[in-house]
Amino acid sequence: MTPVLEARNLTVGYKIPGGLFARPQTLPIVQEVNISLLPGQTLGIVGESGCGKSTLGRALMYLIKPLAGEVLWSGQNPAQMSPEVLRKNRAQMQIIFQDPIAALDPRMTLARILSRPLATFEPQLSKTDVQTRVAEALQRVGLSPDFAARYPHELSGGQAQRVGIARAIIGRPKVIICDEPVSALDVSIQAQVVNLLMDLQAEMGLALVFISHNLAVVRHISHQVMVMCLGRTVEQAPRDAFYARQLHPYAAALKQAVPEPDVAAERLRRGQSLPGELPSIAHPPPGCVFSSRCPQAQDLCRTARPLLKSYGSGRQGACHFIEAPP
Amino acid sequence: MKADLPKLRSAASVQFSRFSANRMAMISVWLLALTVALCFLGPYAFPFTAEDADFDNISAGVDLFSIHPFGTDDYGRDLLIRVLEGGQVSLMIGFLGALVAGVIGVLYGAVAGFAGGRTDNIMMRFVEVLYGFPYVILVILLSLLLGGGTLALFTALVFTLWLTPAVIVRAQAQSLSRREFIEAARAGGMTSWQIVTQHIVPNTISLVIVYGSLLVPEVILSESFLSFLGIGIKEPQASWGNLIQIGTSQMATDLRLLLLPGTLLALVLFCLNFIADGLRDAFDPNEH
C-alpha cells in the first residue's frame, strides 16, 4: 500500500532577512524528519512548546515550503505540481486548528464556511448538491443542519471545533492534520472531539496526524507516536511499545511530566522535573539536542549528535545510550 | 434547510439596530437625504436654470414669496438654484471621490498587508513617497495636464485621498493574514486573490465604512477649498466652494451670497460627521 503521506528528510525553516549589517539567516525549525503514514492510521506527534510540531504540520500541508527534503501526498510531490493542480490536490490534505473560533471567518455563515472548499474542489456540484453536502457534513460531526445559518460567534468552542472538522472532511480528504485540536477545549469536550475524530477515521478510512503535547490524548488516538525535541525526531515507536517504555531520555521525561492522579505518586513525581534551560533554536547545541537537560548526558552527547537508529519492532531512537529493548 | 430556519440575528443586523438607536446619526441621515434630494430635484421646480440671467432682478434681495426666494447675484442669476446645482457638483465629487479613493485604497492596502515581506515593503514605501507630495501643486499640475475642470480636480482628489485608507486597511490585513482561518482558506485551495477579496476585504469593511463616511466630507471640503482658491471648479459652473468664494468678496455689503452655500456646506459636513460617529459606535467591537 502506498502511504497517503510521506516526508523524506524534511527540513523546514524561516528566512530572517538581513539588516544593514547582518546577513540573511535561515532559522531551521524542523530538521530531517521522516514520516510515513498509511490510510486509516494515526501518527501522534508530541513534544514541548516550540519544538516545531506545528511547523511540521504546516509543512506536511505544503503551506510552508520546505528548505530541503520533500513531502509526498499519496506518492505525489506537491512541489512539482502547477499552482492550479496543487489547489485541486489540497482536497486530500486538510487541517484543523488549536483555536477553533479563530479558524472560522467571523463574517461568514457556517453554510458559506463549509461550502467554500467545495467551490474549489468540486466546482461541478449544483447548488442543491452543495447544500446537501453541507447538511451531511454538519450531521456527521454531530451538529444539526440548522447550524448552517449561524455565525461563528454564536458557537461554543466545542461546536466551533466540530465545524472546523466538518470543513476538513467536506472535500473527502485522505489525511487530516490535527494541530492541537483539543488543547483549547474543556476536558469533557476534549473526549467528545477525540472520539468524533476516531469515528470519522473508522468511517472514512482517514489517516490522521495528531499534534499534541497531551500524552494521554495521544495514547488514546494514535497508532504510532513520534517524539520531537528542538526540531528533530528523537524517538518513534508503535503506541503500546512507546507507552510501556520510552527509549529516549527526553521521551521518558515528557512521560514523567504528566501529572499523576495519585497524591503520593504525584509528590514523588514533582521532585523529578528536568534541570537546565531549553536551548535556543537559533543556536542548537552541537551534540544531542537534549544534552543540556539530559540527566544521563556524557561528554560524547555534547559533541556528537546521535543518529536515529532502529531498535527492532518498528522502534527508532536517537540517543547514544539506548539499551536495546528486550 | 433554508426557508424554515429560525431567524438568527446576524452581526450586521445587530450593528444596524445599534446605529438606528443613535438619534443624532438618524437625524443626520434624514437631513442628508433631504439635502441630496433638494440639490438634485429642486432645480426642476423652477422655470429657469442657474445660468439664466434675469436682468430685471439683478442683485435682488431675499424675498421668500417672489420667484427668486433667496434673491439673485449681480449677474441676475438665481442664487438658490446656483447653490443647489453647486451642491450637485460638490456632493457628486464627494461621494464618488470617496468611493473611488476607498476602493483603490482598500484593495491596495489589502494586497500589501496580505502579501507581506518585500512586496508590502515596496508598496508601502511608494505610498509614503506619494504622501510627501504637496497636493495643491499636484492639482495645479493635473489641471495643466488635463485642461482643468472637474476631471482634473477629481483625479487629483482621488490621487491624494486613497493613501490613508490604504494604510489603515494594510494594517488590518496584516493582522488578519496571520489568523488561522486564512490558513484554512489556503488549505481549502483558495488563490491569494480569492483570499484577499473574500476573506480579507470583508473583514476590514466595518473599518472602511467608518473611514469612508469621514472621507466624504473630507473630499467635499477639499473640493470647496480648491475651488475657493480658484484652481477647482471654474465659473460659470457652480460648486459650494466657488460660491462661497464669490460670497466672501461681497460679504461686506451682502452677506446672503456667503451664508446660503456656507450653511448648506456646514450642514452636510455636520451630518456626515454625525453619521460617521454613529457608524463607528455601531461597529465598535468592544461593545459586542
* Cβ contact B10–A151 (<8 Å): yes
* Interface residue B4 vs chain A (CB under 8 A): no
- The alpha carbon of residue B182 is apart from the nearest alpha carbon of chain A, in Å, by 8
* Interface residue A16 vs chain B (CB under 8 A): no
pLDDT of residue B285: 53
* Cβ contact A146–B6 (<8 Å): yes
Sheet (strand A5-16) strand order: A25-37, A5-16, A68-73
User: Which among A95, A239, A177 has a CA at the least distance from the CA of B185?
Assistant: A95
Cα A32 to Cα A66: distance, rounded to the nearest angstrom: 10
pLDDT of residue A163: 93
Q: Which pairs count as long-range contacts for B21-28, CB under 8 Å and 24+ apart, including other chains?
A: B22/B277, B22/B278, B22/B281, B22/B282, B24/B274, B24/B277, B24/B278, B25/B274, B25/B275, B25/B277, B25/B278, B25/B279, B26/B278, B27/B274, B28/B270, B28/B271, B28/B272, B28/B274, B28/B275, B28/B278
The type of residue at A220 is H
User: Which among B274, B281, B247, B251 has a CA at the least distance from the CA of B83?
Assistant: B247
Average confidence (pLDDT) over A285-290: 83
In CATH terms, the fold of domain B83-287 is MetI-like fold (1.10.3720)
* Interface residue A95 vs chain B (CB under 8 A): yes
- What's the pLDDT tens digit per position in B164-188? 889 999 999 999 988 889 999 988 8
Q: Among partner residues A63, A116, A135, which is closest to B1 by beta-carbon distance? A: A135
* Cβ contact A107–B11 (<8 Å): yes
* Residues of chain A positioned with their CB less than 8 A from the CB of B1: 131, 135, 145-146, 148
Contact residues for A172 (Cβ-Cβ < 8 A; gap 6+): A91, A204
User: pLDDT at residue B288 above 60?
Assistant: no
User: pLDDT at residue B47 above 50?
Assistant: yes
Contact residues for A223 (Cβ-Cβ < 8 A; gap 6+): A41, A42, A43, A238, A239
* Residues of chain A positioned with their CB less than 8 A from the CB of B181: 102-105
Which grid coordinates belong to A106? Answer: 467571523
Cα A246 to Cα A242: distance, rounded to the nearest angstrom: 5
Average confidence (pLDDT) over B64-78: 69
Query: pLDDT category, A27, cuts 50, 70, 90?
Result: confident
Query: pLDDT category, A37, cuts 50, 70, 90?
Result: very high
* Interface residue A285 vs chain B (CB under 8 A): no
Q: How many CB pairs under 8 A join A and B?
A: 81
β-bridge mates for residue A316, sequence order = A236, A310
* Interface residue A210 vs chain B (CB under 8 A): no
- The alpha carbon of residue B197 is apart from the nearest alpha carbon of chain A, in Å, by 13
pLDDT of residue A209: 94
Q: Residue holding cell 469536550? A: A189
* Interface residue A46 vs chain B (CB under 8 A): no
- What's the pLDDT tens digit per position in B234-287? 777 777 777 777 777 777 777 777 788 888 888 888 888 888 888 877 776 554
pLDDT of residue B131: 85
User: pLDDT at residue B4 above 50?
Assistant: no
Q: What is the ipTM of this complex?
A: 0.85
* Interface residue B3 vs chain A (CB under 8 A): no
Among A230-239, B70-79, B102-111, B213-222, which is the least confidently predicted range? B70-79
* Interface residue A213 vs chain B (CB under 8 A): no
- The alpha carbon of residue B3 is apart from the nearest alpha carbon of chain A, in Å, by 10
* Cβ contact A120–B188 (<8 Å): yes
Tell me which of A26 and A190 has the higher pLDDT: A190
- Max Cα–Cα distance, chain A, nearest Å: 68
* Interface residue A75 vs chain B (CB under 8 A): no
β-bridge mates for residue A71, sequence order = A7
pLDDT of residue A246: 86
pLDDT of residue B1: 40
Q: Among partner residues B181, B186, B187, which is closest to A105 by beta-carbon distance? A: B181
pLDDT of residue A175: 93
How high does pLDDT run on average in chain B? Answer: 79
Tell me which of A276 and A200 has the higher pLDDT: A200
β-bridge mates for residue A226, sequence order = A45, A236
Q: Residue holding cell 443586523? A: B13
Q: Which pairs count as long-range contacts for A116-119, CB under 8 Å and 24+ apart, including other chains?
A: A116/A167, A116/B185, A116/B188, A116/B190, A116/B198, A117/A91, A117/A167, A117/A170, A117/A171, A117/B188, A117/B189, A118/A170, A118/A171
* Cβ contact B180–A149 (<8 Å): no
* Cβ contact A88–B2 (<8 Å): no
Domains in chain A with CATH codes: 5-17+24-222 (3.40.50.300), 247-326 (no CATH)
* Residues of chain B positioned with their CB less than 8 A from the CB of A108: 202
pLDDT of residue B58: 67
* Residues of chain B positioned with their CB less than 8 A from the CB of A105: 181, 185, 199, 202-203
Which grid coordinates belong to A280? Answer: 535556543
* Cβ contact A104–B181 (<8 Å): yes
Q: Among partner residues B1, B180, B184, which is closest to A145 by beta-carbon distance? A: B1
* Cβ contact B1–A106 (<8 Å): no
